[in-house]
Amino acid sequence: MKHYDVIVVGAGPSGGHVARLLAKQGFDVALFEEHHEIGRPVQCAGLVSTRVIDILGGKKGVINEISGARIHSPTGEILTIQGKKPKACVIDRALFDGIIVNDAVSSGSVLHLGSKVTSIKRKGGEIRLEAKKDGAKEDYGCRLVIGSDGVGSIVARSFGFPKPKEVLSGFGAECIIEKDIDLDYLDIFIGNKIAPGFFAWLIPTDSGARIGLCTSRDRKNTRRNFESLLRHSEVKNRLGKIKIERYIAGTIPLGPMKKIVSDAVMLVGDAACQVKPLSGGGIYLGLLSGGHCANVAKEGLESEDLSEKKLKRYPALFQDDVGKELKRANQLRKIFLELKDEHIEEGFRILGDEKILSFIGEKSDIDYPSGLTKAVLQKAPRLMKFAGPVLKSLI
Ligand SMILES: Cc1cc2nc3c(=O)[nH]c(=O)nc-3n(C[C@H](O)[C@H](O)[C@H](O)COP(=O)(O)OP(=O)(O)OC[C@H]3O[C@@H](n4cnc5c(N)ncnc54)[C@H](O)[C@@H]3O)c2cc1C
């Protein structure tokens, strides 16, 4: 049986990042991925902040940059937000994952591709894993296991971690389009009929557009909602004829998850529900927490103390970094879920003021949206009527 210091289960961005950081520290790291190709199938719209690109230290994998957004109300009112510089990037998600995982491998991690972890348990003072590759079973042992195996994580299930509080359904497609579109603007569609409990998007790429939506209510109809989105007049006008190249579907776990470490076990990324509650984006938080996870894992491995008590420093560091932001974002999401379409229309009327829109364009930050909410509420206190006490607590 092969033994490693660390086994990382799941070679998405979170797992690839943790594996590369630990391998760079000289630990014996193995990275398991059930699929035969990194980054495929793509289950992501591929929009990230420029911060994510900075963490990776280069623009490889970036297709185009986004500096503005058009937000569409249920009845078709549009708020246009324009930033002075790019706020977000559209990435080739498969290439992006490949860059991270290649770095993990060139830093010394052993990649087990097409190898699905099928069981994990504690035995004889270590963690034992069984993986299936091409029908054959293989056994492995390690001092520490890191579950970066996404929503439905086998690592989380095997050690009795809590389930996500909520799971969103996402459905979309990468499309070839008839018309030319602005490459630096994305469109967001809000409304209880369009995307119940979340929102829909239209993201331009160099070869077409990514169109899709997430829903948190009426989830079995997500695909039907997507088909209606394709018939939306604004989508048709802007894109002309659409040819679907590839569907993009998946689920997104929302937290917070109360417990993400136990003796010799750590969870990171979607497996730990580290997802932004307002946008469903998980790449930035997965990379950010991956850094904390790797630092605390290093301390535990070096001191030969991988107890839950020792590893708890990891969620504490994550909380120090983004705990407040996530708490506020969760409160805002609760308010959003209560809004009826007529409330959204009223919100659009209040926000449709040149000064407020240019302020939003200047200050918006897709990773940390709650700070902006606070400032916007001060400029447009009429918004307080939607959930006065909760919103007041944000100021
Ligand atoms: C429709 C949709 C659109 C999205 N759009 C965006 C977006 O625009 N921006 C953004 O930031 N986020 C977006 N997300 C969320 C984003 O995709 C995730 O947050 C992100 O992929 C999480 O990365 P991860 O590495 O934690 O997990 P994943 O990327 O899910 O990686 C987990 C890996 O583990 C592997 N695995 C699972 N089980 C096993 C096993 N038993 N053995 C071996 N391997 C295993 C899986 O194959 C997978 O490769 C979107 C999600 C959806 C569904």
pLDDT in tens, 276-295: 999 999 999 999 999 999 99
DSSP 198: S
Q: Which two tokens stand for residue 153?
A: 């994580």
Name the nearest CA neighbour of 199 among 12, 48, 376, 344: 344
Residue owning the nearest CA to atom 19 of ligand 1: 282
Ligand 1 atom with the smallest distance to the CA of 131 is 42
What's the 173 CA to ligand 1 centre distance in angstroms?
16
What was the pLDDT predicted at 220? Answer: 86
What was the pLDDT predicted at 124? Answer: 86
Written as one letter, the residue type at 243 is K
What was the pLDDT predicted at 357? Answer: 94
User: What is the sign, positive or negative, of the torsion defined by CA atoms of 390, 278, 73, 48?
Assistant: positive
Band of residue 393 on the pLDDT scale cut at 50, 70, 90: low
Pairing of strands 88-91, 47-49: antiparallel
Task: Tell the residue number behind the tokens 């909380």, with chain if given.
Answer: 319
pLDDT tens-place string over residues 256-266: 999 999 999 99
What's the 269 CA to ligand 1 centre distance in angstroms?
8
Task: Tell the residue number behind the tokens 């900075």, with chain if given.
Answer: 54
Contacts of 80 (CB under 8 A, 6+ apart): 68, 69, 70, 71, 357
Q: Ligand 1, residues 7, 17, 18, 34: which to mutate, most atoms within 8 A of Cβ?
A: 34
Ligand 1 atom with the smallest distance to the CA of 275 is 19
Task: Tell the residue number behind the tokens 């590759």, with chain if given.
Answer: 133
What's the 12 CA to ligand 1 centre distance in angstroms?
6
CA distance linking residue 123 with residue 120, whole number of Å: 9
Written as one letter, the residue type at 103 is D
Lowest mean pLDDT among 54-58, 124-128, 180-184: 54-58
What was the pLDDT predicted at 203? Answer: 97
Instruction: Report the chain's terminal Cα–Cα distance, integer Å.
Output: 57
Residue owning the nearest CA to atom 18 of ligand 1: 282
C-beta neighbour count of 76 within 10 angstroms: 11
Residues with CB under 6 A from ligand 1: 9-15, 32-35, 43-48, 116-117, 148-150, 154, 170, 172, 212, 248, 250-252, 269-270, 275, 280-284, 286
Whether 88 has a pLDDT exceeding 90, the answer reads: yes
Nearest 5°: CA angle at 251, between 246 and 256?
150
The domain limits of the chain are 2-43+93-164+256-322, 174-253, 328-394
What's the 270 CA to ligand 1 centre distance in angstroms?
7
Per DSSP (E only), the strands in the chain are 2-9, 29-33, 47-49, 62-66, 68-72, 78-82, 88-91, 110-113, 115-123, 126-133, 136-147, 166-177, 185-189, 200-205, 208-215, 242-254, 261-262, 265-267
C-beta neighbour count of 50 within 10 angstroms: 18
172 CB burial (10 A radius; 0-12, 13-18, 19+)? buried
Band of residue 83 on the pLDDT scale cut at 50, 70, 90: confident
pTM for the full model? 0.96
Over residues 190-207, the mean pLDDT reads 95
Band of residue 218 on the pLDDT scale cut at 50, 70, 90: confident
What was the pLDDT predicted at 392? Answer: 63
CA distance linking residue 184 with residue 87, whole number of Å: 10
Ligand 1 atom with the smallest distance to the CA of 116 is 42
Q: What number of helices (H) and strands (E) belong to the chain?
A: 13, 18
Over residues 54-67, the mean pLDDT reads 88
What's the 120 CA to ligand 1 centre distance in angstroms?
21
CATH annotation of 2-43+93-164+256-322:
3.50.50.60
What's the 354 CA to ligand 1 centre distance in angstroms?
38
Ligand 1 atom with the smallest distance to the CA of 148 is 26
Over residues 331-337, the mean pLDDT reads 91
What was the pLDDT predicted at 388? Answer: 62
What's the 178 CA to ligand 1 centre distance in angstroms?
30
What's the 42 CA to ligand 1 centre distance in angstroms?
8
Q: Which two tokens stand for residue 314?
A: 């990891």
Written as one letter, the residue type at 19 is A
Contacts of 163 (CB under 8 A, 6+ apart): none
Over residues 236-259, the mean pLDDT reads 95
What's the 282 CA to ligand 1 centre distance in angstroms?
8
Q: Ligand 1, residues 252, 257, 273, 288: which to mutate, most atoms within 8 A of Cβ?
A: 252
Whether the bond between 256 and the residue before it is cis, its omega within 30 degrees of 0, is: yes
Over residues 216-239, the mean pLDDT reads 92
Pairing of strands 62-66, 166-177: unpaired
Band of residue 95 on the pLDDT scale cut at 50, 70, 90: very high
Band of residue 55 on the pLDDT scale cut at 50, 70, 90: confident
CA distance linking residue 165 with residue 273, whole number of Å: 9
Pairing of strands 126-133, 261-262: unpaired
What was the pLDDT predicted at 395? Answer: 58
CA distance linking residue 307 with residue 264, whole number of Å: 6
Q: Are 98 and 31 in contact (CB under 8 A)?
A: no
Name the nearest CA neighbour of 151 among 134, 132, 166: 166
Instruction: Point out which residues pair with 324 in neighbouring strands.
Output: none
Ligand 1 atom with the smallest distance to the CA of 154 is 41
Whether 84 has a pLDDT exceeding 90, the answer reads: no
What was the pLDDT predicted at 264? Answer: 98
